[in-house]
A and B are shown apart, each in its own frame.
Chain A
Amino acid sequence: MSASSDHANSVFASVVQAPEDPILGVTVAYNKDPSPDKLNLGVGAYRTEEGKPLVLKVVRKAEQLLVNDPSRVKEYLPITGLADFNKLSAKLIFGADSLAIQENRVTTVQCLSGTGSLRVGAEFLARHYHERTIYIPQPTWGNHPKVFTLAGLSVKTYRYYSPNTRGLDFQGLLEDLGSAPAGAIVLLHACAHNPTGVDPTSDQWEQIRQLMRSKGLLPFFDSAYQGFASGSLDADAASVRMFVADGGECLAAQSYAKNMGLYGERVGALSIVCKTAEVASRVESQLKLVIRPMYSNPPIHGASIVATVLKDRDLYNEWTVELKAMADRIISMRKQLFDALQARGTPGDWSHILKQIGMFTFTGLNANQVAFMTKEYHIYMTSDGRISMAGLSSRTVPNLTEAIHAAVSSVA
Chain B
Amino acid sequence: MLLRNGCAGRILKSGSFRSMSTSWWKHVEPAPKDPILGVTEAFLADPSPDKVNVGVGAYRDDNGKPVVLECVREAERRIAGNLNMEYLPMGGSIKMVEETLKLAYGENSDLIKEKQIAAVQALSGTGACRLFADFQKRFSPDSQIYIPVPTWANHHNIWRDAHVPQNTFHYYHPESRGLDFASMMEDIKNAPNGSFFLLHACAHNPTGVDPTEEQWREISHQFKVKGHFAFFDMAYQGFASGDPERDAKSIRIFLEDGHLIGCAQSYAKNMGLYGQRVGCLSVICEDEKQAVAVKSQLQQLARPMYSNPPVHGALVVSTILGDPELKKLWLTEVKGMADRIIGMRSALRENLEKLGSPLSWEHITKQIGMFCYSGMTPEQVDRLTNEYHIYMTRNGRISMAGVTTGNVGFLANAIHEVTKSA
Contacts and interface: CB of A to CB of B under 8 A. Distances in A.
B4 A182 contact: yes
B257 A294 contact: no
A59 B23 CA distance: 39
A262 B9 CA distance: 41
A27 to B, nearest CB: 8
Interface in A13-50: 13-18, 21, 24, 28, 43, 45
Contacts, number: 294
Contacts of B77: 67
Main secondary structure of the interface of A (DSSP, over half): loop
Contacts of B305: 112, 115-116, 119, 147, 150, 294
B368 to A, nearest CB: 23
A44 to B, nearest CB: 10
B74 to A, nearest CB: 11
A12 B154 contact: no
Contacts of A172: none
Contacts of A206: 16
Interface string B109-122: 00000000000000
Nearest to B1: A214
Contacts of B272: 74
Contacts of B37: 76, 78-79, 292, 297
A17 B277 CA distance: 27
Given A17-B296, A119-B306, A289 B31 contact: yes
A374 interface: no
Interface residues of B, number: 98
B227 A60 contact: no
B68 to A, nearest CB: 6
B3 A216 contact: yes
A5 B225 contact: yes
Interface stretch (B84-92, B374-382, B387-395): B84-92
A55 B275 contact: no
Contact of B19 (A78, A119, A213): A213
A67 B80 CA distance: 7
Given A293-B154, A301-B310, A262 B85 contact: yes
Interface in A231-290: 246-249, 257, 261-266, 272, 274-276, 279, 281-283, 285-286, 288-290
Contacts of B7: 182, 213, 216
A274 B194 CA distance: 47
A409 interface: no
Given A77-B275, A289-B31, A13 B286 contact: yes
A8 interface: yes
Interface of B is mostly: loop
Contacts of A263: 85-87
B111 to A, nearest CB: 12
A264 B86 contact: yes
A45 B87 contact: yes
A24 B90 contact: yes
Interface stretch (B155-163, B241-249, B396-404): B155-163
Interface residues of A, number: 98
B36 to A, nearest CB: 9
Interface string A128-170: 1110000000000001001101110000000000000000000
Given A7-B224, A265-B85, A213 B9 contact: yes
B312 A302 contact: yes
A179 interface: no
A294 B23 contact: no
Contacts of B89: 24, 28
Contacts of A285: 30-31, 33
B357 to A, nearest CB: 33
Nearest to B80: A67
A75 to B, nearest CB: 5
B260 A10 contact: yes
A412 interface: no
Interface in B15-49: 16-31, 33-34, 37, 41
A145 to B, nearest CB: 9
B367 interface: no
Contacts of B286: 8-10, 13
Given A53-B85, A247-B19, A283-B25, 13 more contacts: A7-B257, A8-B260, A21-B299, A113-B306, A182-B3, A183-B24, A216-B4, A264-B308, A281-B30, A283-B28, A294-B305, A296-B127, A299-B313
The 9 closest A-B pairs by CB, nearest first: A3-B227, A264-B311, A275-B23, A300-B275, A295-B123, A293-B157, A112-B306, A216-B7, A7-B258
12 contacts: A7-B259, A10-B260, A78-B37, A116-B305, A150-B301, A215-B4, A246-B18, A248-B21, A274-B25, A293-B157, A295-B130, A302-B310
